A and B are shown apart, each in its own frame.
Chain A
Amino acid sequence: MKKVLSLVLAMVMVLSLAVLAFAEDKTLPDAEGYTTGQSQILTSETTSEGKSAVSFEVKYPAQTTFDWNALVADAQVKYSAKTHLAYGNKLTVSVSSAKSKMTIDGNDKYGLAYTLKDDAAGSAPLKDLVLNEIDSAEKTVYVDIPQAQWDAAPVGQYSDTLTFTANVA
């Protein structure tokens, strides 16, 4: 038993010494292979100039003239709108009248009372125009001046102001 143990111990010692002797012949781990990583790219909601990318436009006439005695189908105010909004937003354009009555130079003695309508028949009240994020549309506002109003008014140049309101939400 002692002989065997001595032999084994001697061999262990010899082999341990051999590690140093053959160290310089060790082969480097082959570096073949690959590794990966992720780089995120993302867009900004502002332009290179730092301005908001959100945009919309509403084009409407500065002035619209109706013929004398024009009824609802012929008294039209047309406007258009175009949007490029943030995701989930909508543009609402509403049109309202200042006094609902056209007058001569603001003089209330005589006037043409009117209402704004959504159709040429004058049967539906004016509705707002609603556009999605990327959208465009044209809309006509019908100005309903009843015949009785024309008949009761002295001939002259009557005017009022329509207010266009655009809201993004």
Chain B
Amino acid sequence: MKKALSIILSLIMVLSLSVIAFAEEITGDGSSPEQTADSIVKTQTVNERGEDVTSFTVTYPAETTIPWGKTDAVDVAYTINSQLLFNKRLKVSVAKKDGEDAMKGSAGNDATLAYTLDGDVNVTTEEAAVSGLSKAATVAVAQDAWDAAPVDTYQSNLTFTVEVVSA
């Protein structure tokens, strides 16, 4: 009984080791001088360490300063790089931070500075892989808003949201 069990286990191990070695083979019986068979080569979507290789970066300014009184739109430029699965796209949206409809002055200053956010505020890449795609949201303050605000440093935050979406 012991012998039989040892043999069975040994066979299981040997056959298991053979899975890779004997995945494909070409056999011939001499009737044909040439035999052909295909061997598939394919890439993986993970690297050698098994890590997901899809990646993206969106580079945007930590801070954008607007000169006092400037009514022309000011660019908040950002750059997109992505290498995603073929059927994915990168969606970048820029919005006023929740609860910050206007720029606020320094402590004690109750005045606010209204502004509009426009330009490239909703961008979806046309390809899965893009390199150095330049976009710009724009911030504009109207003359009326400048006129009504005491001179101060007013500030607010823009929220960049980056999503991987299906094409």
Interface residues of A (CB under 8 A from B): 3, 6-7, 10, 13-14, 17-18, 20-21, 23-24, 26, 28-29, 31-48, 52-54, 84-89, 133-134
Grouping DSSP codes into helix (H, G, I), strand (E, B) and loop, the B interface class, with mixed when no group exceeds half, is: mixed
Q: Contacts A3-B5, A32-B164, A88-B109 given: A40-B62 contact, CB under 8 Å?
A: yes
- Check B30 for interface membership: any CB of A closer than 8 A: no
Give the tally of cross-chain contacts (CB within 8 A): 162
B85-107 vs A, Cβ < 8 Å mask (1 yes, 0 no): 10010000010010000010110
- Check B63 for interface membership: any CB of A closer than 8 A: yes
CA gap between A35 and B93 in the complex, in Å: 11
- Contact between B46 and A47 (Cβ–Cβ < 8 Å)? no
- Contact between B5 and A41 (Cβ–Cβ < 8 Å)? no
Grouping DSSP codes into helix (H, G, I), strand (E, B) and loop, the A interface class, with mixed when no group exceeds half, is: mixed
- Contact between A84 and B147 (Cβ–Cβ < 8 Å)? yes
Q: Please classify how large the interface on chain B is, using the bins under 10, 10 to 19, 20 to 34, 35 or more.
A: 35 or more
What is the minimal beta-carbon distance from B102 to any residue of chain A, in angstroms? 11
What is the minimal beta-carbon distance from B4 to any residue of chain A, in angstroms? 11
- Check B16 for interface membership: any CB of A closer than 8 A: yes
Q: Which of B61, B85, B148 lies in contact with A39, CB distance below 8 A?
A: B61
- Check B108 for interface membership: any CB of A closer than 8 A: yes
Of B94, B141, B158, most buried by chain A (CB within 10 Å of CB) is B158
Q: Which residues of A contact B152 (CB under 8 A)?
A: 43, 45, 86-87
